[in-house]
Structure 1
Amino acid sequence: MISQNKYQADIDYILAQRNHLGDDFWTTEDNRIGKGSPFSARDVAIFLNELGFTRKDVIVQGLAERIFQAWRPDGRFRIAPKGTIYPCHTITMLRVLCYLGYHRDDRLAVTFQHLFDIQHDDGGWRCNTVKMGKDPLTDCSNPGVTLEALDAFRHTDDSIHQDRLDPAVDFLLGHWEIKRPIGPCHFGIGSLFMQVEFPFLRYNLFYYVYTLACYERARADRRFQEAYTSLREKVIDGKMVIENTNHRLSKLDFCKKGAPSACASARWNEIADRMADL
């Protein structure tokens, strides 16, 4: 756990953005909780977790409650007043609430089950924004959304759902080989993907390896080990150096481009610990 005092200036800067969208907890007056990246409610939840905040903190409790206002009884999350509710909306809100420590909340149990109900035939998750049959690669699940779903499921006892999660793991391992842009949103594995990016906001090598390392099926797979080796080669003196980040985060030291990050290094150490027994 990173001490909050180590990055107090970062914390102060993030908290200063709390009302920048017109309402409290990094939301708009009409409760849009995904707007304003990288200082949206969704992104800030991840930042606070990396900076050592837990659900014991009042700011986390308030932020979580604001996000839960978007939860629906069928398990989905409506992140804007109008418009289609896409699986990616629900999955990203589920993930950040897990980061904030709410993975055992009864409401999220409904959401986890909803994800199984809408799981695609190839094991992953996708938005039906493109009609099936247009192109075999477009028909695939969305790798970014699938990675976020597995990131959420890692907070649960995955052994209970192993038969449902193994296909999702296999799908992402398959993308390591395909590399071409796939899914409705055309997620690919190229030079940008291979840059160390932190915090975990987008589909990239570091986030990919971190999440899949939580699954035994992945750790034993040659494709994952190739990805792990590629990431390990970027570690300098035991520290993870950030290669890419959103330019609007340039004032934050915990994820500064070109510099080692204690938070990112802590995530790397988690990966290394999981790989130690192989």
Structure 2
Amino acid sequence: MEHEQDSSQGGVLVLAGTPIGDVTDAPARLAVELGAAQVVAAEDTRRLRRLAGALGAEVPGRVVSYFEGNEAARTPELVQALRDGARVLLVTDAGMPSVSDPGYRLVEAAVAEGIRVTAVPGPSAVLTALALSGLPVDRFCFEGFLPRKAGERARRLADLAAEPRTMVFFEAPHRLAESLAAMAEAFGAGRRAAVCRELTKTYEEVRRDTLADLAKWAEPGVRGEITVVVTGAPPADPSQIGPAELVARVAGREAAGQTRKEAIAEVAAEVGVQKRVVFDAVVAAKKG
């Protein structure tokens, strides 16, 4: 069993949430931690300075950049500072560190060293979008960004087609329409979803509709920070799934790169029928 050491025996790593839009959403403790840290690791040091200024916070400690490009190289340096007893504060551009942002690598290294890790809870685009979506929130999963390449994205979505929990994704605005269309193809055009744009900012917008209609809405182009929430798959009822649907599901998985044998096995498990039933449907379709 792993145990974090007491802060009196070494440094402390503090993960701090930062506003995702409205600066007044910053937790009150953030200003306190900015003033207390010996080292502040920031995804963008200029943004950090602007945020500190808006909060009226002093940052007397050493400020270093910590972003995707230097995360691997800078982690050992920060771990050494923690070993030496420093209080290290980690902030990203928006939201909580480690959630599709730098942080996991440093947390993993700190935990391995037995260093105490704590957090200043703050705004989260994932939870905010989920709450505003109007979709089921009792069970959900966060899927982050989809792969950029069409084939890899199709395979990821095929794996999620039967996911019963509400799903939360991040997406770049210039890829939104393409991703929504791919979701409509993988999950079904009528699957309900919500596109949450510019959360907590001046032009906040939440669009709730089917995946097909949202894809059409996004075609002219959408701006801003995007979070997509998609309702989970309904429970499969084998009695309501005919041979044509079984064949379509197999074809979709084959198009995503699976072998026919793999696709048949997964579709059978997904809908709760024997593999032979799916196999016979595919063979019959080929003969027809």
In which range does the TM-score fall when normalised by the shorter chain? under 0.3
Q: What TM-score results when the alignment is normalised by the length of structure 2?
A: 0.25
Q: What TM-score results when the alignment is normalised by the length of structure 1?
A: 0.26
Normalized per residue, the structure richer in strand is 2
- Max Rg structure: 2
